[in-house]
Chain A
């Protein structure tokens, strides 16, 4: 089952507006990452936020993490047509056992953002 689920599935806004995408997950995590994908291309990392952090910024991007609600949001301010892409959250979860370490990285299905000029 999906660990991270983005909401909404699709979002259409006008240039200059802010875009907010949400990600919910089910179990405790080590960190949560947001990625962007232009159609058919490889994913590009945007921001990583660790479980002990609540907010991070990078340029026009702002990510928040609420571990009590098991949710994260990605805010893109003053959107541009070039921001049109799919956005994915990915959660990493430790699956530790004695004598070793392991992890699970799970992507959501993504939010398709369209920014109209």
Chain B
């Protein structure tokens, strides 16, 4: 079954304790992204990756790191989490459409990770 998986689904942690949220897709997609969703603010892109070893900042990258060593995995790392990073996080993947900019096609979203930083 084609899917995007995220782990963990729920996490409560304390300020400053490094954590990693994993994301994996089995569709051989080029593009992968991380978003955070907060009430009243919609989805905001944190980081994205157009292919292996190619990553770039989204709208709210501060306090986050990512890596794309393999095509299927795109972990999100919080080196020193703070309470303002309490949020609902989504990973998404897509293939690229044909064309000069290879704009992303349909985004497939993971189920979300609800993170609370105390």
Cα-based distance from A94 to B50 in the complex (angstroms): 12
Number of A-B contacts (CB under 8 A): 74
CB distance from A93 to the nearest CB of B (A): 8
Contact assessment for A103 and B43 in the assembled complex, using a CB-CB cutoff below 8 Å: no
Could you tell me the dominant secondary structure of chain A's interface residues?
Answer: strand
B interface footprint on A28-49 (CB within 8 Å = 1, 0 otherwise): 0011010100001111110010
A85 at the interface (CB under 8 A from B): no
Determine the interface band of chain B, counting residues with CB < 8 A from chain A: 20 to 34
The answer on a CB contact under 8 Å between B106 and A33 is yes
The reply on B62 being an interface residue by CB < 8 A is no
Chain A residues numbered 60-117 whose CB sits less than 8 Å from any CB in chain B: 88, 90, 92-96, 101-103, 105-110
Answer whether residue B74 sits at the interface, using C-beta atoms and an 8 A cutoff. Answer: no
Contact check, B101 vs A31: say whether CB atoms are below 8 A apart. no
Q: Which residues of A contact B (CB under 8 A)?
A: 2, 30-31, 33, 35, 40-45, 48, 50, 88, 90, 92-96, 101-103, 105-110
